[in-house]
Protein backbone atom coordinates (compact mmCIF):
# COMPACT_ATOMS: atom_id res chain seq x y z
CA UNK A 1 0.00 0.00 0.00
CA UNK A 2 1.49 3.36 -1.00
CA UNK A 3 0.69 6.05 1.53
CA UNK A 4 -1.29 9.14 0.41
CA UNK A 5 1.06 12.10 -0.16
CA UNK A 6 -0.58 15.54 -0.39
CA UNK A 7 1.59 16.77 -3.27
CA UNK A 8 -0.17 20.13 -3.62
CA UNK A 9 0.25 21.00 0.06
CA UNK A 10 3.90 19.93 0.09
CA UNK A 11 4.68 21.91 -3.04
CA UNK A 12 2.93 25.00 -1.65
CA UNK A 13 4.96 24.71 1.56
CA UNK A 14 8.24 24.42 -0.33
CA UNK A 15 7.34 27.53 -2.31
CA UNK A 16 6.27 29.40 0.83
CA UNK A 17 9.47 28.59 2.72
CA UNK A 18 11.52 29.59 -0.35
CA UNK A 19 10.27 33.15 0.08
CA UNK A 20 11.75 33.41 3.57
CA UNK A 21 15.13 34.38 2.19
CA UNK A 22 17.72 37.18 2.15
CA UNK A 23 17.67 37.13 -1.65
CA UNK A 24 14.70 37.42 -4.02
CA UNK A 25 12.92 34.25 -5.20
CA UNK A 26 14.00 31.77 -6.49
CA UNK A 27 17.35 32.48 -4.77
CA UNK A 28 17.37 31.18 -1.22
CA UNK A 29 19.74 32.51 1.44
CA UNK A 30 19.17 31.48 5.07
CA UNK A 31 22.34 31.73 7.15
CA UNK A 32 22.53 30.21 10.63
CA UNK A 33 20.72 32.20 13.35
CA UNK A 34 20.20 35.27 11.18
CA UNK A 35 16.73 36.90 11.40
CA UNK A 36 15.81 35.10 8.17
CA UNK A 37 16.93 31.73 9.51
CA UNK A 38 14.93 32.40 12.68
CA UNK A 39 11.87 33.36 10.63
CA UNK A 40 12.20 30.12 8.69
CA UNK A 41 12.47 28.15 11.92
CA UNK A 42 9.37 29.79 13.37
CA UNK A 43 7.45 29.12 10.17
CA UNK A 44 8.48 25.47 10.34
CA UNK A 45 7.63 25.10 14.03
CA UNK A 46 4.09 26.35 13.31
CA UNK A 47 3.65 23.73 10.56
CA UNK A 48 4.99 20.99 12.81
CA UNK A 49 2.60 21.91 15.64
CA UNK A 50 -0.31 22.22 13.18
CA UNK A 51 0.42 18.59 12.25
CA UNK A 52 -0.09 17.58 15.88
CA UNK A 53 3.58 16.74 16.46
CA UNK A 54 5.40 17.38 19.74
CA UNK A 55 8.11 19.96 18.99
CA UNK A 56 11.30 20.67 20.94
CA UNK A 57 14.52 22.55 20.18
CA UNK A 58 17.83 21.47 21.71
CA UNK A 59 20.62 23.66 23.07
CA UNK A 60 22.33 24.15 19.68
CA UNK A 61 19.12 24.71 17.72
CA UNK A 62 18.29 21.27 16.32
CA UNK A 63 14.48 21.00 16.04
CA UNK A 64 12.75 17.70 16.85
CA UNK A 65 9.11 16.88 15.98
CA UNK A 66 7.83 13.57 17.35
CA UNK A 67 5.06 11.24 16.20
CA UNK A 68 4.48 9.01 19.20
CA UNK A 69 4.57 5.26 18.60
CA UNK A 70 2.62 2.55 20.39
CA UNK A 71 5.75 1.69 22.38
CA UNK A 72 7.41 5.04 23.22
CA UNK A 73 9.99 3.28 25.38
CA UNK A 74 11.77 1.96 22.27
CA UNK A 75 14.51 3.99 20.50
CA UNK A 76 12.72 6.02 17.84
CA UNK A 77 13.31 6.03 14.11
CA UNK A 78 14.43 9.45 12.87
CA UNK A 79 14.32 11.30 9.60
CA UNK A 80 15.13 14.90 8.64
CA UNK A 81 17.51 17.33 6.98
CA UNK A 82 18.11 21.10 7.07
CA UNK A 83 16.47 24.41 6.16
CA UNK A 84 19.55 26.64 6.28
CA UNK A 85 20.95 27.59 2.88
CA UNK A 86 24.22 28.98 1.52
CA UNK A 87 24.05 32.40 -0.19
CA UNK A 88 21.90 32.45 -3.34
CA UNK A 89 21.14 28.75 -3.25
CA UNK A 90 18.11 26.79 -4.40
CA UNK A 91 14.80 26.09 -2.66
CA UNK A 92 15.02 22.27 -2.52
CA UNK A 93 18.40 21.51 -0.86
CA UNK A 94 17.60 20.25 2.64
CA UNK A 95 14.01 21.52 2.53
CA UNK A 96 12.82 18.44 0.62
CA UNK A 97 14.03 16.30 3.52
CA UNK A 98 12.41 18.45 6.22
CA UNK A 99 9.05 19.21 4.57
CA UNK A 100 9.04 15.85 2.79
CA UNK A 101 9.64 14.21 6.16
CA UNK A 102 6.74 16.18 7.62
CA UNK A 103 4.55 15.06 4.73
CA UNK A 104 5.57 11.45 5.30
CA UNK A 105 4.47 11.69 8.93
CA UNK A 106 1.18 13.30 7.89
CA UNK A 107 0.69 10.46 5.38
CA UNK A 108 1.08 7.91 8.19
CA UNK A 109 -1.42 9.84 10.29
CA UNK A 110 -3.87 10.09 7.36
CA UNK A 111 -3.60 6.34 6.80
CA UNK A 112 -4.27 5.75 10.50
CA UNK A 113 -0.90 4.05 10.98
CA UNK A 114 0.40 4.10 14.58
CA UNK A 115 4.03 2.98 14.27
CA UNK A 116 5.42 0.73 16.99
CA UNK A 117 8.50 2.93 17.38
CA UNK A 118 8.01 6.68 17.60
CA UNK A 119 9.27 8.61 14.57
CA UNK A 120 11.14 11.88 15.01
CA UNK A 121 11.60 14.50 12.31
CA UNK A 122 14.81 16.53 12.84
CA UNK A 123 15.68 19.90 11.28
CA UNK A 124 19.41 20.16 11.94
CA UNK A 125 21.21 23.35 12.86
CA UNK A 126 23.82 24.68 10.42
CA UNK A 127 24.14 21.86 7.92
CA UNK A 128 25.82 24.47 5.71
CA UNK A 129 29.30 25.75 6.68
CA UNK A 130 28.55 29.34 5.69
CA UNK A 131 28.63 31.17 9.03
CA UNK A 132 31.24 29.25 11.05
CA UNK A 133 33.21 27.49 8.28
CA UNK A 134 32.01 24.08 9.48
CA UNK A 135 29.01 22.17 8.18
CA UNK A 136 26.67 19.91 10.14
CA UNK A 137 27.34 21.62 13.49
CA UNK A 138 24.02 20.39 14.90
CA UNK A 139 24.53 16.72 14.02
CA UNK A 140 28.25 16.88 14.93
CA UNK A 141 27.34 17.99 18.45
CA UNK A 142 24.50 15.45 18.70
CA UNK A 143 26.83 12.61 17.70
CA UNK A 144 29.82 13.72 19.81
CA UNK A 145 32.02 14.40 16.76
CA UNK A 146 32.21 18.06 17.83
CA UNK A 147 33.06 18.53 21.51
CA UNK A 148 32.96 21.62 23.72
CA UNK A 149 36.52 22.68 22.84
CA UNK A 150 35.88 22.27 19.11
CA UNK A 151 32.68 24.28 19.34
CA UNK A 152 34.48 27.02 21.29
CA UNK A 153 37.09 27.38 18.52
CA UNK A 154 34.52 28.33 15.89
CA UNK A 155 34.41 31.99 14.82
CA UNK A 156 32.25 33.74 12.26
CA UNK A 157 33.49 36.49 9.92
CA UNK A 158 32.96 39.09 12.66
CA UNK A 159 34.91 37.06 15.21
CA UNK A 160 31.71 36.01 16.98
CA UNK A 161 31.50 32.66 18.75
CA UNK A 162 28.92 29.93 18.27
CA UNK A 163 28.00 30.35 21.94
CA UNK A 164 27.19 34.04 21.44
CA UNK A 165 25.18 33.22 18.31
CA UNK A 166 23.12 30.41 19.84
CA UNK A 167 22.33 32.33 23.05
CA UNK A 168 21.49 35.39 20.96
CA UNK A 169 19.06 33.22 19.00
CA UNK A 170 17.33 32.19 22.22
CA UNK A 171 18.79 28.71 22.71
CA UNK A 172 19.07 27.74 26.36
CA UNK A 173 20.99 25.21 28.42
CA UNK A 174 24.58 24.11 27.83
CA UNK A 175 25.49 23.32 24.21
CA UNK A 176 26.68 19.84 25.15
CA UNK A 177 23.20 19.03 26.48
CA UNK A 178 22.44 18.34 22.80
CA UNK A 179 24.80 15.34 22.85
CA UNK A 180 23.04 11.98 22.34
CA UNK A 181 24.35 8.51 23.16
CA UNK A 182 24.94 5.83 20.49
CA UNK A 183 21.71 3.85 20.15
CA UNK A 184 19.58 6.92 20.92
CA UNK A 185 17.80 6.12 17.66
CA UNK A 186 16.96 2.80 16.02
CA UNK A 187 17.74 4.18 12.54
CA UNK A 188 18.02 7.50 10.67
CA UNK A 189 16.86 8.03 7.07
CA UNK A 190 17.24 11.31 5.15
CA UNK A 191 15.36 12.33 2.00
CA UNK A 192 17.41 14.73 -0.15
CA UNK A 193 17.83 15.94 -3.71
CA UNK A 194 20.73 14.20 -5.45
CA UNK A 195 22.54 17.45 -6.31
CA UNK A 196 24.12 15.56 -9.20
CA UNK A 197 23.12 14.31 -12.70
CA UNK A 198 23.01 10.54 -12.25
CA UNK A 199 19.30 9.85 -11.64
CA UNK A 200 18.20 12.13 -14.47
CA UNK A 201 20.86 10.67 -16.80
CA UNK A 202 19.68 7.13 -16.06
CA UNK A 203 15.98 8.12 -16.11
CA UNK A 204 15.42 6.74 -12.60
CA UNK A 205 13.12 7.86 -9.79
CA UNK A 206 15.11 7.11 -6.61
CA UNK A 207 18.74 6.91 -5.50
CA UNK A 208 19.35 4.44 -2.67
CA UNK A 209 22.44 5.89 -1.04
CA UNK A 210 24.96 3.28 0.13
CA UNK A 211 27.79 5.66 1.13
CA UNK A 212 28.61 9.36 1.47
CA UNK A 213 31.92 10.76 0.24
CA UNK A 214 34.43 11.94 2.85
CA UNK A 215 34.56 15.75 3.17
CA UNK A 216 37.52 17.83 4.35
CA UNK A 217 38.12 21.59 4.56
CA UNK A 218 41.51 23.28 4.79
CA UNK A 219 41.77 26.96 5.70
CA UNK A 220 44.96 28.64 4.43
CA UNK A 221 46.02 32.12 5.54
CA UNK A 222 48.77 33.96 3.63
CA UNK A 223 50.19 37.33 4.76
CA UNK A 224 52.55 39.94 3.28
CA UNK A 225 53.65 43.51 3.88
CA UNK A 226 51.08 45.08 1.55
CA UNK A 227 51.80 48.62 0.38
CA UNK A 228 51.04 51.18 -2.29
CA UNK A 229 50.15 49.63 -5.66
CA UNK A 230 51.93 52.44 -7.49
CA UNK A 231 54.94 53.16 -5.34
CA UNK A 232 55.97 49.68 -4.18
CA UNK A 233 58.15 48.32 -6.99
CA UNK A 234 57.83 44.69 -8.03
CA UNK A 235 61.22 43.44 -6.69
CA UNK A 236 60.21 44.64 -3.23
CA UNK A 237 56.87 42.87 -3.19
CA UNK A 238 55.76 39.83 -1.16
CA UNK A 239 52.20 39.46 -2.43
CA UNK A 240 50.16 36.72 -0.67
CA UNK A 241 47.58 36.77 -3.47
CA UNK A 242 50.22 35.61 -5.96
CA UNK A 243 50.92 32.64 -3.69
CA UNK A 244 47.18 32.03 -3.38
CA UNK A 245 46.82 32.01 -7.15
CA UNK A 246 49.38 29.22 -7.38
CA UNK A 247 47.53 27.25 -4.69
CA UNK A 248 44.19 27.62 -6.50
CA UNK A 249 45.72 26.26 -9.71
CA UNK A 250 47.33 23.37 -7.81
CA UNK A 251 44.11 22.34 -6.05
CA UNK A 252 42.42 21.96 -9.45
CA UNK A 253 45.40 20.20 -11.06
CA UNK A 254 45.96 17.78 -8.18
CA UNK A 255 42.25 16.87 -7.81
CA UNK A 256 42.04 16.12 -11.53
CA UNK A 257 45.25 14.14 -11.38
CA UNK A 258 44.44 11.41 -8.83
CA UNK A 259 43.25 8.99 -11.51
CA UNK A 260 39.69 9.00 -10.18
CA UNK A 261 36.78 11.31 -10.88
CA UNK A 262 35.65 10.61 -7.29
CA UNK A 263 38.25 13.16 -6.14
CA UNK A 264 37.10 16.77 -6.05
CA UNK A 265 38.83 19.96 -4.94
CA UNK A 266 37.39 23.47 -4.78
CA UNK A 267 38.53 26.85 -3.50
CA UNK A 268 35.05 28.16 -2.84
CA UNK A 269 35.93 31.04 -0.58
CA UNK A 270 38.73 33.61 -0.68
CA UNK A 271 39.01 36.89 1.21
CA UNK A 272 41.60 39.52 0.20
CA UNK A 273 42.54 42.35 2.58
CA UNK A 274 42.53 45.30 2.56
CA UNK A 275 40.61 44.77 -0.71
CA UNK A 276 41.52 48.03 -2.48
CA UNK A 277 42.54 48.05 -6.14
CA UNK A 278 45.49 50.36 -5.42
CA UNK A 279 46.82 48.44 -2.42
CA UNK A 280 49.05 45.36 -2.58
CA UNK A 281 47.18 42.59 -0.67
CA UNK A 282 48.29 42.15 2.94
CA UNK A 283 46.23 39.09 3.95
CA UNK A 284 44.49 36.33 2.01
CA UNK A 285 42.25 33.68 3.62
CA UNK A 286 41.15 30.71 1.49
CA UNK A 287 38.92 27.78 2.39
CA UNK A 288 39.55 24.67 0.32
CA UNK A 289 36.95 21.88 0.05
CA UNK A 290 38.41 18.44 -0.82
CA UNK A 291 36.42 15.20 -1.00
CA UNK A 292 36.67 11.64 -2.20
CA UNK A 293 34.88 8.35 -1.71
CA UNK A 294 38.33 6.90 -0.91
CA UNK A 295 39.65 8.19 2.42
CA UNK A 296 43.36 7.60 1.73
CA UNK A 297 43.15 9.39 -1.64
CA UNK A 298 41.30 12.31 -0.02
CA UNK A 299 43.86 12.58 2.77
CA UNK A 300 46.74 12.45 0.28
CA UNK A 301 45.21 15.41 -1.57
CA UNK A 302 44.74 17.41 1.65
CA UNK A 303 48.33 16.76 2.74
CA UNK A 304 49.67 17.63 -0.71
CA UNK A 305 47.76 20.94 -0.92
CA UNK A 306 48.78 21.89 2.61
CA UNK A 307 52.46 21.28 1.83
CA UNK A 308 52.19 23.05 -1.53
CA UNK A 309 50.72 26.17 0.09
CA UNK A 310 53.55 26.24 2.62
CA UNK A 311 56.14 25.89 -0.16
CA UNK A 312 54.58 28.69 -2.22
CA UNK A 313 54.61 30.97 0.81
CA UNK A 314 58.32 30.27 1.38
CA UNK A 315 59.11 30.81 -2.33
CA UNK A 316 57.44 34.24 -2.27
CA UNK A 317 58.50 35.25 1.22
CA UNK A 318 54.97 35.51 2.61
CA UNK A 319 53.59 34.32 5.97
CA UNK A 320 51.55 31.10 6.02
CA UNK A 321 49.24 29.14 8.32
CA UNK A 322 47.13 26.13 7.45
CA UNK A 323 44.25 24.81 9.60
CA UNK A 324 42.15 21.69 9.01
CA UNK A 325 38.57 22.76 9.74
CA UNK A 326 37.19 19.26 9.23
CA UNK A 327 38.55 15.97 7.97
CA UNK A 328 35.66 13.50 8.16
CA UNK A 329 35.48 9.81 7.23
CA UNK A 330 32.97 8.62 4.63
CA UNK A 331 29.80 7.09 6.04
CA UNK A 332 28.31 3.76 4.94
CA UNK A 333 24.55 3.13 5.01
CA UNK A 334 23.14 0.43 7.29
CA UNK A 335 22.08 -2.73 5.36
CA UNK A 336 18.68 -2.90 7.06
CA UNK A 337 18.01 0.72 6.13
CA UNK A 338 19.02 0.12 2.51
CA UNK A 339 16.72 -2.92 2.40
CA UNK A 340 13.80 -0.93 3.86
CA UNK A 341 14.27 1.75 1.19
CA UNK A 342 14.45 -0.80 -1.64
CA UNK A 343 11.33 -2.58 -0.35
CA UNK A 344 9.52 0.76 -0.20
CA UNK A 345 10.63 1.51 -3.77
CA UNK A 346 9.21 -1.82 -4.94
CA UNK A 347 5.94 -1.10 -3.16
CA UNK A 348 5.75 2.41 -4.65
CA UNK A 349 6.74 1.21 -8.12
CA UNK A 350 9.73 3.57 -8.04
CA UNK A 351 12.67 2.70 -10.27
CA UNK A 352 15.87 2.94 -8.24
CA UNK A 353 19.61 2.42 -8.15
CA UNK A 354 22.18 2.16 -5.38
CA UNK A 355 24.59 5.10 -5.44
CA UNK A 356 27.11 7.19 -3.56
CA UNK A 357 26.36 10.69 -2.29
CA UNK A 358 29.04 13.17 -3.32
CA UNK A 359 27.54 15.91 -1.18
CA UNK A 360 27.82 15.48 2.56
CA UNK A 361 24.77 15.48 4.82
CA UNK A 362 23.86 15.23 8.49
CA UNK A 363 23.49 11.52 7.79
CA UNK A 364 27.32 11.30 7.90
CA UNK A 365 27.25 12.16 11.60
CA UNK A 366 23.99 10.43 12.51
CA UNK A 367 25.85 7.28 11.43
CA UNK A 368 27.81 7.62 14.70
CA UNK A 369 24.51 7.14 16.58
CA UNK A 370 22.64 4.47 14.59
CA UNK A 371 22.31 2.72 11.20
CA UNK A 372 21.56 5.33 8.51
CA UNK A 373 20.50 5.68 4.90
CA UNK A 374 19.41 8.25 2.36
CA UNK A 375 16.74 8.49 -0.31
CA UNK A 376 17.66 10.66 -3.30
CA UNK A 377 15.30 12.28 -5.78
CA UNK A 378 16.56 13.65 -9.11
CA UNK A 379 18.07 17.12 -9.62
CA UNK A 380 17.36 18.71 -13.00
CA UNK A 381 20.65 18.79 -14.96
CA UNK A 382 22.38 17.86 -11.71
CA UNK A 383 22.25 21.50 -10.63
CA UNK A 384 22.35 22.51 -6.95
CA UNK A 385 23.58 25.38 -4.76
CA UNK A 386 22.13 27.62 -7.46
CA UNK A 387 18.76 29.40 -7.73
CA UNK A 388 17.81 27.24 -10.75
CA UNK A 389 18.02 24.06 -8.66
CA UNK A 390 14.88 22.06 -9.49
CA UNK A 391 13.06 18.81 -8.70
CA UNK A 392 9.45 18.32 -9.84
CA UNK A 393 6.43 17.89 -7.56
CA UNK A 394 5.94 14.34 -8.86
CA UNK A 395 9.58 13.40 -8.22
CA UNK A 396 9.41 14.79 -4.68
CA UNK A 397 6.08 13.08 -4.00
CA UNK A 398 7.57 9.76 -5.09
CA UNK A 399 10.50 10.32 -2.76
CA UNK A 400 8.11 11.07 0.11
CA UNK A 401 6.10 7.91 -0.61
CA UNK A 402 9.31 5.84 -0.51
CA UNK A 403 10.45 7.62 2.67
CA UNK A 404 7.07 6.99 4.34
CA UNK A 405 7.15 3.32 3.34
CA UNK A 406 10.70 2.84 4.59
CA UNK A 407 10.05 4.68 7.87
CA UNK A 408 6.97 2.50 8.45
CA UNK A 409 9.07 -0.64 7.98
CA UNK A 410 11.86 0.58 10.22
CA UNK A 411 9.41 1.71 12.91
CA UNK A 412 7.76 -1.71 13.02
CA UNK A 413 11.11 -3.50 13.51
O1 LIG B 1 28.55 20.83 0.83
C2 LIG B 1 27.76 19.89 0.91
O3 LIG B 1 28.00 18.78 0.47
C4 LIG B 1 26.42 20.14 1.54
O5 LIG B 1 25.58 20.70 0.56
N6 LIG B 1 26.54 21.02 2.67
MN1 LIG C 1 23.82 22.25 0.53
MN1 LIG D 1 21.77 19.65 1.82
* Predicted local distance difference test score (pLDDT) of residue 201: 98
Distance 141 CA to ligand 1 centre (A): 17
Question: Half-sphere exposure (CA, 13 Å, Cβ side) for 292?
Answer: 20
Q: What is the mean pLDDT of residues 39-44?
A: 98
**What is the model's pLDDT at position 84?**
98
DSSP 3-state assignment of 14?
helix
Report pLDDT digits (tens) over 327-341.
Answer: 999 999 999 999 999
Residue 359, ligand 1, Cβ within 6 A: yes
Give the distance (Å) from ligand 1 centre to CA of residue 122.
17
pLDDT per residue over 254-269, tens digit each? Answer: 999 999 999 999 999 9
User: Residue 5, preceding bond cis, omega within 30 degrees?
Assistant: no
Helix (H, G, I), strand (E, B) or coil at 357: strand
Segment 143-157 mean pLDDT: 97
Domains belonging to the chain, first-starting first, are 7-213+330-412 (3.40.630.10), 215-327 (3.30.70.360)
Atom of ligand 1 nearest to the CA of 359: 3
Is 124 touching ligand 1 by the criterion CB < 6 Å? no
32 C-alpha to ligand 1 centroid (Å): 15
> Given this model, what pLDDT does residue 228 score?
98
Residues shown for the chain:
413
pTM, two decimal places: 0.94
CB 139 within 8 A of CB 21: no
Which residue out of 215, 328, 379, 384 has the highest number of ligand 1 atoms within 8 Å of its CB and is therefore the one to mutate?
A: 215
Q: For position 1, what pLDDT does the model report?
A: 61
Tens of pLDDT, residue by residue over 160-212, are: 999 999 999 999 999 999 999 999 999 999 999 999 999 999 999 999 999 99
Expressed in angstroms and rounded, the spacing between residue 230 Cα and the centre of ligand 3 is 46
Would you state the pLDDT for residue 224?
A: 98
pLDDT tens sequence across 12-40: 999 999 999 999 999 999 999 999 999 99
Q: Is 127 in the pocket of ligand 1 (CB under 6 A)?
A: yes
In the prediction, which pLDDT does 338 show?
Answer: 98
On the question of pLDDT at 2 being above 90, the answer is no
Average pLDDT of span 220-229: 98
215 CA closest ligand 1 atom index: 3
Note the pLDDT of residue 3: 82
**Structure confidence at residue 4 (pLDDT):** 83
* Mutation probe of ligand 1 site: the residue of 138, 214, 360 with most atoms within 8 A of C-beta: 360
Q: Is the CB of 151 under 6 A from ligand 1?
A: no
Which-ligand-closest: CA of 364?
Answer: 1
Q: How many whole angstroms separate alpha carbon 369 and alpha carbon 187?
A: 8
* Radius of gyration for the alpha carbons in the chain, expressed in angstroms and rounded: 22
Amino acid sequence: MTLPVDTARLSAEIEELARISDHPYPSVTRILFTPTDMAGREWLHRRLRDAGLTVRVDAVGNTFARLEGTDPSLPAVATGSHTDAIPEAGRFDGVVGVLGGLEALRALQAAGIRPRRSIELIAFTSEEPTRFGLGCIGSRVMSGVLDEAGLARLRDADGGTFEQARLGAGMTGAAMDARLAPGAYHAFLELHIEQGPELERQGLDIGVVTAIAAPATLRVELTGGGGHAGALLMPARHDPLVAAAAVIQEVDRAARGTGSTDTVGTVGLIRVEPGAVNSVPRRVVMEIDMRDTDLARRDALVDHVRAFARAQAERLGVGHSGEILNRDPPSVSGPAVVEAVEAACAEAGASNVRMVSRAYHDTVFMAQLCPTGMVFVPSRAGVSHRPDEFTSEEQIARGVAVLAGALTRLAQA
